[in-house]
Chain A
Amino acid sequence: MIEARGLSKRFQDKKRGEIRAVDNVSFSAKPGQIYGLLGANGAGKTTTLRMLATILEPTDGTAVVYGHDVIEQPEKVRASVGFLSTATALYPRLTSQELVEYFGRLNGLDEPTLKKRVDYIFDRLDMNEFRDRRCDKLSTGMKQKTSIARTLVHDPPVMIFDEPTLGLDIMTARSIITFIRECRDRGKTVIFSTHVMSEVEKLCDVIGIIQSGKLLAEGSLAQLREQCGEQDLEEIFVKLVAPLYSTTEAL
Chain B
Amino acid sequence: MSIRNVGIVYRKELREALRDRRTVIASVVVPLLLFPLLSVGFGAVITSIIGKTKEESPKIMILGGEDSPGVVASLKATPKIEIVTAAANWKDLVINKDVPAVIEIPPGFDKAVADQKELDVTIYNYSGDLKSEIAAGKVDKTLKSYRDDVVKNRLQARNLPVSVLKPFEVKQQNIAPPEKSGGALFFGGFIAYIVVFLCFNGGMHPAIDLTAGEKERGTMETILSSPVSRAHLVFGKFLLVLTTALATAALSVISMGISFAIANSLHSAPVQAGGDGMSMHIGVGAALSVFIMAIPLAVLFSSVLLTIASFAKSYKEAQSYIMPMMFIVIIPAIAAMLPGVDLTPKLALVPILNVSLLCKELVIGTYHWNFIAIIFTSTCAYAAFALFLAVKMFQRESVLFRS
Contacts and interface: CB of A to CB of B under 8 A. Distances in A.
Contacts of B226: 78, 103, 106-107
A94 B225 contact: no
B16 A94 contact: yes
Interface of A: 12, 53, 55-57, 75-76, 78-79, 81, 83, 85, 87-94, 98, 102-103, 105-108, 150
A57 B398 CA distance: 11
A106 B15 contact: no
A55 B224 contact: yes
Contacts of B217: 89, 91-92
B321 interface: no
B227 A108 contact: yes
B8 to A, nearest CB: 5
Given A56-B401, A78-B225, A87-B218, 10 more contacts: A53-B225, A55-B224, A78-B226, A88-B219, A88-B221, A89-B218, A89-B221, A90-B219, A91-B222, A94-B15
Contacts of B224: 55
The 6 closest A-B pairs by CB, nearest first: A89-B218, A83-B225, A88-B222, A79-B227, A78-B227, A93-B19
Interface of B: 1, 5, 8-9, 12, 15-16, 19-20, 217-219, 221-222, 224-229, 397-398, 401
A79 B228 CA distance: 9
Given A91-B16, A94-B15, A106 B222 contact: no
Nearest to A94: B16
A89 B397 contact: no
Contacts of A105: 8
A107 B5 CA distance: 9
A106 B225 CA distance: 11
Contacts of A98: 12, 15
Nearest to A107: B227
Interface residues of B: mostly helix, strand, loop or mixed? helix
A102 B8 contact: yes
B10 to A, nearest CB: 12
Contacts of A85: 221
Contacts, number: 63
Contacts of A75: 227-229
30 contacts: A55-B221, A55-B224, A56-B401, A75-B228, A76-B227, A79-B227, A87-B221, A88-B221, A88-B225, A89-B218, A89-B221, A89-B222, A90-B219, A91-B217, A91-B222, A93-B15, A93-B16, A93-B19, A93-B20, A94-B12, A94-B15, A98-B15, A102-B8, A103-B226, A105-B8, A106-B227, A107-B226, A107-B227, A108-B227, A150-B222
A105 B9 CA distance: 10
A93 B398 CA distance: 28
A98 B14 CA distance: 13
A83 B227 CA distance: 11
Contacts of B8: 102, 105-106
Nearest to A150: B222
Nearest to A89: B218
Contacts of B221: 55, 85, 87-89
B274 to A, nearest CB: 46
**In the complex, which of the residues B12, B15, B401 has the most CB atoms of chain A within 10 Å of its own CB atom?**
B12
Contacts of A107: 226-227
B397 A90 contact: no
A90 B150 CA distance: 87
Contacts of B19: 93
B218 to A, nearest CB: 3
Contact of A81 (B16, B20, B225): B225
Contacts of A12: 398
B50 to A, nearest CB: 48
A189 B251 CA distance: 53
B222 A90 contact: yes
